[in-house]
Amino acid sequence: MRYLQPETIEDLLKDLDYESNNQIIAGGSDLVIIMEETGIKPEILIDITNIDELKGIRKEEYGISIGAATTIADISSNQELPCCLATGAASIGSPQIRNVATIGGNLCNASPCGDTLAPLLCLSADFLLQANQKERWVSAENFFIGPKKTVLNKNEVLSQIRINKKYLEGYSGFGMIGQRNGQAISQVNLAVWLKRSDESGLIEEIRIAAGSVAPTPIRIPEAEEMLCGTNPDSELILRAGLLVQTGISPIDDVRSSAEYRQDVIIGLFYDIITQILKEPKSC
Amino acid sequence: MKKQNLSQVGKSVVKVDGRELVTGKAKFSGDFKFPELLHGYACRSKIAAGYIKNIDISQALKIPGVVDVILPKDIPGNNLIGVLPPHDQPILADKEIRYAGESYCIAIATSVKAAKAGAKAVKTAIDPITPILTIDEALAKSARKIHPNGNITISKNLIKGDCEKAFAEADIVLEDTFETSNQEHAYMETEVVCAEPFGDGRVTVHASCQSPFHIRGHIAANLNVPASKVKVVQAYTGGSFGGKDDAATEIGSLAAIAAVKHGKPVMISHEREESIVGSTIRHASRIHYRIAAKKDGTITGKEIKILLDGGAYAAESPFVVMKALIHSAGPYKIDNVKVESTAIYTNKTYCGAFRGFGVPQVTFASESMMDELAKELKMDPLELRRKNALKPGELNATSQIFEESVGIIETIDKVIEINKSYQLPAKEPERYLYGTGFASMYQGISNGAEGIDVVGASVQAMQDGSALVSIGLTELGQGSRTVFAQIAAEVLGLTMDKVIVKHVDTDSVHDSGPTVASRSTTVGGMAVFKAAGEVKKSLLKMAALMFKTEENNIVLKDNFAQLVFDEKAKIPLKDVCVATYWTGFPLMNLSFSKAPEANYDHDNTQGNIYIAYNYGTHMMSIRIDKLTGAVKVLKHVAVHDAGKVVNPKAFEGQVEGASLTGLGLAHLEKIQYKDGVIINPNLSDYAVPTIKDRIPSETISVETYNPTGPYGVKGIGEPPVSGAASSFANAVANATGIRFKKLPITRQDILKAIKK
Amino acid sequence: MLIEFICNGKKINIDVPADMRVLDLIRDGLGLTGTKCGCSKGECGACTILVDGLPECSCLLLAPKLQGREITTIEALERPGGKLHPIQEAFLEEGAVQCGFCTPGMILSTKALLDVNPSPSVAEIEEGLSGNICRCTGYTKIVKAVQSSALKLQGAEI
């Protein structure tokens, strides 16, 4: 097996184009397990974590740019990033996993329970997919097409995640529940972003995204509509929660029954909204 | 509690083998390096039941690095594992697959990678048959026979008094059925062995194991050689909890067979998934429980039917059946008890010994029923337990009487006291439910009815004033080596740094039976106590000569022999040892401790069975999130009568660890099957508790003096599992008003029930 | 593939297959067996090492990842002359070691935590060690050992 460690995006894209039978490796926390379990080894691994341009969280004019090879640990501790993304990242695995896993890896692995997926959908993020001599921006909405399936082509790399500055304003939150308290894989996760009017205090805009409840992360427009333009009390939040419940289509799997996912999402939703409205600055 | 003037026993000394563990220097089985080491990797069935039609190893042998594929026909002796009759378990499945994950051949190669590739390249034809996956399927009249003698492994009865009469005359009769699920040991180190062949025709097997002598016997039988041709060396073992021996025998034999055949060392190291599917797990159970009681709360009868789902092979089922049988009535004085305990075969991973050994399952049923009875009688649940609890001199369920060391009432009283002053919080009642649960339990110490219960230990005083302790019981993390050192140090007046406890290998220690049943401290400790006592006699005799006085004027203390009436008159023990050596008094002694033989009626299981019982009462207070079903344990108190506590800190560690395992059984851990295949064979989807799931266990010891243990000791390794699991279930019932009759009670189960 | 990195302060130059796991490189290539294999999936933390001071599961790292990095295994902690590191002492004194298999990983995670957070709260301790599973102790004494370690390390600095 050959192991390439390009140091620039240019070299990476050339490697991707030139080499067939290649596989991108970022942190490796998903890939190495797959390789161990299946015994299948790609002919060529292209490690993207030595490329400085792919690492780091940068404030730009349009908002924030996150390099795909930025570790989950760095995402979870970054103060500039919206709460829902930082908290989502902090829920992943354990400190050991977070030090190695990358946001790009989490997105491209596209497991429905990946904890950065719903937050980025919620924040209307865009992903830059680059190939040699080509590049395209794909929204989070369009990037995921099924469990562990994305629109990423063979010779492409997801290099950058962009969050528009609009979503850096307002407040957001994230919640998840797993089978246990530590190192818990999400049975359900939920990200909410909202903006309140400075004058009236009413919710001007709200975006709700849920993960692990459908083949891809999904928005819940019905619940968003109910809360938009309101200053919701507990009762309204719960009623919106019921719409979240009906807006998801979870399945039974080894980690959870569909019924539990359906039931528990109301509690998650209630907690997140309440938290954002009561203590918006705490993350 | 008898007052004893002790200097080492009763102290929280540091673990004697701790240093090598914190530095990473301790060698576990997989840490050894051998030149030309070969590796083994098994082929395992992907289906739960089938007939093996053909195994084609030709492609496997072509894989670079693969030197062999061991098949059943390559086993020189019997193709059998298992420590007990009916000896129904093959090392390698030959004609029939009985559980998903069962191995039928093993590839031997120069690297793990190659061995895995070799195993993968074996072509197998297995005709699937419909697996039998539940107790009911197994017991159905037309059920296929998993074993020639049918699907009942073994059944035992306990009959005391006249249950029919008691139930007929009762004021109240309650009955219900409870179930528990399988539980996985999940020790951090999986099963690992390494077999080393020697030029003299012997083979040494380094193993992560609990009972090296049992394993030696079986490996020798499988190799078709006398036991003396096999040496088993217990490496540092990363946890066992009862679970390693069957698998260690299996892979120990295979490694030895391959090692002897090829003249090279062979290592077999289970991956985590193999460890979960291919080695024992805790029996699942279904328990039908009837209680007869008087209006005043006196329980007059218990009729219990226990069905244990034991998986594909008998393994330790016969003993688990017995233990469940004996403990199912609980630590109470009940005149009329009728129990039937049966293990059933199913086409699933075979079940065996796991910390608690049948007692957690029956305690859950028993203690749930006690709370139901209390509710029915409108009695306080602790008062009901106290009213019926055993007192010294009373007959327990097997009609055994203990005149001393029956501390169950003391443990209940302690919990009553704590509960009185504990205020269950009531914050945010719209969001949370709060509840407290109690459970009383007992656990017989040592092998009891399970066979001859003997331990041999030797103590040797050295000329540098140190002592070497040798005993066949194994250190698995529970601190037994430290306890033995403390006892030897106590007897010989040594400080802890002067006592060395040997590693266990079958050439150099006495066969002391298995390290199970919480017997190390009592039966094992007694052997060390006796042996040290004999060595002490020599030292006193010598010191008396050196002091020119009577032996009873001398005391051994702090590495000195000193005069009782003049503290300043002392001789270093090392000088005494040197003199003793040259004088020719024996500096070494081998002593045996034999538990009084279990003497009982085998048909009714009435008579003397255990040398002692550990008694305990737990209290657990919890908070349930009504929106998620998540449970937070707010308070957990584990009160135990474990006799004299030898090492308080280690004692707490045992209680804390066992309690968390009990919580896992009751709440977090669930092995899930699909068509008999375990679908969550990993430490994530099988939710072993992490540090964020820990519970705030407080350990309280109510010390009684057990006459059958040195210094009054009993054991503590297993009992807290039952206490924690059962008190959790009762806490959930108390908080929700709903009786959950199946373990584990997960968040999902709670939310589903309370939302109704 | 030729890899150059620093292990426990010592420069290592080693030629290994690119798909070799760092866990195997450490145990077989370097003969340092203090780092353990518990699950091969990054779920148990027994294989934890520090990479540039950060705790990572060595079963999930491929050898080339070490190029130019500095790793610390449990073997680095014992001080010259056989004196134990304060964290090792604390684990022993508090009874936080039973079978010892999780201990090297647990101690390294503790070191990583205290290096950045010298006075962690109980919640921070639990979060910091959430990637290390122990089946023996029930974790309570481990938490106490971390607290004791923090005090010892602060005392040492003073």
Q: Which residue would you say has higher pLDDT here, B645 or B83?
A: B645
Residues of B in contact with A253 (CB under 8 A): none
Topology annotation, domain A168-278? Enolase-like; domain 1 (3.30.390)
SS3 B591: strand
Which stretches of A103-233 are DSSP H helices?
103-109, 117-122, 140-143, 221-227
From B275's Cα to the closest Cα of chain A, the distance in A is 15
Task: Using the predicted structure, report yes or no on whether residue B478 has a pLDDT greater than 80.
Answer: yes
CATH number of the domain within which B502 lies = 3.30.365.10
Among the candidates B210, B240, B269, a domain finishes at: B269
Reported confidence tier of residue A17, pLDDT bands at 50, 70, 90:
confident
Reported confidence tier of residue B228, pLDDT bands at 50, 70, 90:
very high
Q: How far apart are CA A73 and CA A86, in angstroms?
A: 9
User: Domain locations in chain C?
Assistant: 2-76, 80-157
Q: Tell me which DSSP letter residue B523 carries.
A: I
Residues of C in contact with A40 (CB under 8 A): none
Q: What is the pLDDT of residue B450?
A: 64
Mean pLDDT within A117-129: 98
Topology annotation, domain C80-157? DNA polymerase; domain 1 (1.10.150)
Is C18 close to A36, i.e. CB distance below 8 A?
no
Give the number of other CB atoms < 10 A from CB of residue B568.
6
How many Cβ pairs within 8 Å bridge chains B and C?
176
Number of H helices, E strands in chain C: 5, 5
Is C42 close to A93, i.e. CB distance below 8 A?
yes
Q: Which of B120, B746, B752 sits opposite A39 (nearest CB)?
A: B120
Is C57 close to A47, i.e. CB distance below 8 A?
no
- pLDDT tens for each residue of B327-381: 999 999 999 999 999 999 999 999 999 999 999 999 999 999 999 999 999 999 9
Give the number of other CB atoms < 10 A from CB of residue C84.
17
In terms of CA atoms, which chain C residue is nearest residue A5? C64
Task: Using the predicted structure, report yes or no on whether residue C158 has a pLDDT greater than 60.
Answer: no
Topology annotation, domain A1-49? 3.30.43
Closest CA relative to residue B516, chosen from B219, B717, B275: B717
* Token digits of residue B47: 């289906």
- pLDDT tens for each residue of B490-530: 999 999 999 999 999 999 998 888 887 778 888 899 999 99
Co-location of B292 and B413 in the same domain: yes
The structure tokens 């341009």 sit at A53
Q: Tell me which DSSP letter residue B354 carries.
A: -
Task: Using the predicted structure, report yes or no on whether residue B474 has a pLDDT greater than 60.
Answer: yes
Q: Is residue B2 part of a domain?
A: no
Is C62 close to A3, i.e. CB distance below 8 A?
yes
- pLDDT tens for each residue of B3-58: 788 999 999 999 999 999 999 999 999 999 999 999 999 999 999 999 999 999 99
Q: Supply the mean pLDDT for chain A.
A: 95
Mean pLDDT within C38-50: 98
Q: Is residue B265 part of a domain?
A: yes
- pLDDT tens for each residue of A185-204: 999 999 999 999 999 999 99
Q: What is the pLDDT of residue B172?
A: 97
pTM for the whole structure: 0.97
**Cβ proximity of B690 and B643 under 8 Å:** no
| Residue from A40, A47, A96 whose CB has the most chain C CBs within 10 Å, to mutate | A96
Which chains pack against B, by 3+ Cβ pairs within 8 A? A, C
Which ipTM score applies to this complex? Answer: 0.98
In terms of CA atoms, which chain C residue is nearest residue A100? C56
Co-location of B613 and B491 in the same domain: no
Which chains pack against C, by 3+ Cβ pairs within 8 A? A, B
Q: What is the pLDDT of residue B367?
A: 98
- Amino acid in the structure at residue B267: M
Dihedral sign for Cα atoms in the order B86, B92, B94, B97: positive
Residues B290, B292, B293, B298, Cα dihedral to 10°: -80
Co-location of B548 and B507 in the same domain: yes
Q: Which residues pair with A208 in a beta bridge?
A: A192
Task: Using the predicted structure, report yes or no on whether residue B87 has a pLDDT greater than 90.
Answer: no
Mean pLDDT within B692-717: 95
Q: Tell me which DSSP letter residue C114 carries.
A: H
Q: How far is CA A243 from the centre of its chain?
A: 22
- pLDDT tens for each residue of B264-311: 999 999 999 999 999 999 999 999 999 999 999 999 999 999 999 999
Co-location of B537 and B617 in the same domain: no
Domain holding B720, by residue range, is 284-448+601-754
* Token digits of residue B9: 């026993």
CB of C134 less than 8 A from some CB of B: yes
Closest CA relative to residue A97, chosen from C145, C47, B187: C47
Residues C36, C37, C43, C45, Cα dihedral to 10°: 10
- pLDDT tens for each residue of B143-189: 999 999 999 999 999 999 999 999 999 999 999 999 999 999 999 99
From B398's Cα to the closest Cα of chain C, the distance in A is 32
Closest CA relative to residue B634, chosen from B697, B724, B722, B723: B697
Is A5 close to C67, i.e. CB distance below 8 A?
yes
Q: How far apart are CA B746 and CA B88, in angstroms?
A: 35
End-to-end CA distance of chain C: 45
CATH code matching the domain that covers C2-76, chosen among 1.10.3720.10, 1.10.10.10, 3.50.50.60, 3.10.20.30: 3.10.20.30
Residues of A in contact with C36 (CB under 8 A): none
Q: How far apart are CA B611 and CA B624, in angstroms?
A: 41
In terms of CA atoms, which chain B residue is nearest residue A176? B628
Q: Supply the mean pLDDT for chain C.
A: 96
Co-location of B535 and B663 in the same domain: no
How many Cβ pairs within 8 Å bridge chains A and B?
61
Q: What is the pLDDT of residue B230?
A: 97
Reported confidence tier of residue B416, pLDDT bands at 50, 70, 90:
very high
Q: How far apart are CA A91 and CA A71, in angstroms?
A: 13
From B192's Cα to the closest Cα of chain A, the distance in A is 19
Q: How far apart are CA A71 and CA A45, in angstroms?
A: 19
Phi, psi of B29 (to 5 degrees): -55, -35
Q: How far apart are CA C47 and CA A179, in angstroms?
A: 23
Beta strands B336-344; B432-445: pairing state: unpaired
Is B661 close to C135, i.e. CB distance below 8 A?
yes
From B363's Cα to the closest Cα of chain A, the distance in A is 25
Mean pLDDT within A43-57: 96
| Residue from C136, C144, C148 whose CB has the most chain B CBs within 10 Å, to mutate | C136
Co-location of B466 and B436 in the same domain: no
Q: Supply the mean pLDDT for chain B.
A: 95
CB of A263 less than 8 A from some CB of B: yes
Closest CA relative to residue B415, chosen from B635, B745, B667: B635
From A170's Cα to the closest Cα of chain C, the distance in A is 28
Reported confidence tier of residue B1, pLDDT bands at 50, 70, 90:
low
- pLDDT tens for each residue of A218-236: 999 999 999 999 999 999 9
**Burial of B403 per CB tally in 10 Å (0-12, 13-18, 19+):** exposed
Q: How far apart are CA B493 and CA B535, in angstroms?
A: 12
From B154's Cα to the closest Cα of chain A, the distance in A is 33
In terms of CA atoms, which chain A residue is nearest residue B628? A264
Q: How far apart are CA A214 and CA B533, in angstroms?
A: 70
Q: How far apart are CA B540 and CA B369, in angstroms?
A: 57
Burial B454-482 (b: 16+ CB within 10 A, else e): bbbbbbbbbeebbbbbbbbbbbbbbbbbb
Please give the tally of structural domains in chain B: 3
**Cβ proximity of A66 and A160 under 8 Å:** yes
Residues of chain C whose C-beta is under 8 A from some C-beta in A? 1, 17-19, 21, 40-43, 45, 48, 51, 54-57, 59-62, 64-65, 67, 109, 112-113, 126-128, 130-133
Is B628 close to A182, i.e. CB distance below 8 A?
no
* Token digits of residue A130: 């680059």
Among the candidates B533, B559, B594, a domain finishes at: B594
Q: What is the pLDDT of residue B81?
A: 87
From C72's Cα to the closest Cα of chain B, the distance in A is 13
User: Domain locations in chain A?
Assistant: 1-49, 168-278
In terms of CA atoms, which chain B residue is nearest residue A35? B113
* Token digits of residue A128: 């830059």
SS3 B270: coil
Q: What is the pLDDT of residue B516?
A: 79
The structure tokens 């430290």 sit at B482
Q: Is residue B182 part of a domain?
A: no
- pLDDT tens for each residue of C56-111: 999 999 999 999 999 999 999 998 898 999 999 999 999 999 999 999 999 999 99
Is A47 close to C40, i.e. CB distance below 8 A?
no
Task: Using the predicted structure, report yes or no on whether residue B212 has a pLDDT greater than 60.
Answer: yes
Is B627 close to A267, i.e. CB distance below 8 A?
yes
Is B748 close to A271, i.e. CB distance below 8 A?
no
Burial B43-67 (b: 16+ CB within 10 A, else e): bbbebbbbebeebebeebeebebbb
Residues of B in contact with C82 (CB under 8 A): none
In terms of CA atoms, which chain A residue is nearest residue C126? A182
Mean pLDDT within B729-751: 98
Is B628 close to A264, i.e. CB distance below 8 A?
yes
Task: Using the predicted structure, report yes or no on whether residue B83 has a pLDDT greater than 70.
Answer: no
- pLDDT tens for each residue of B89-146: 999 999 999 999 999 999 999 999 999 999 999 999 999 999 999 999 999 999 999 9
The set of residues, in sequence order, having a beta carbon less than 8 Å from that of A250 and lying 6+ positions away, is: A188, A212, A213, A214, A256, A258, A261, A262
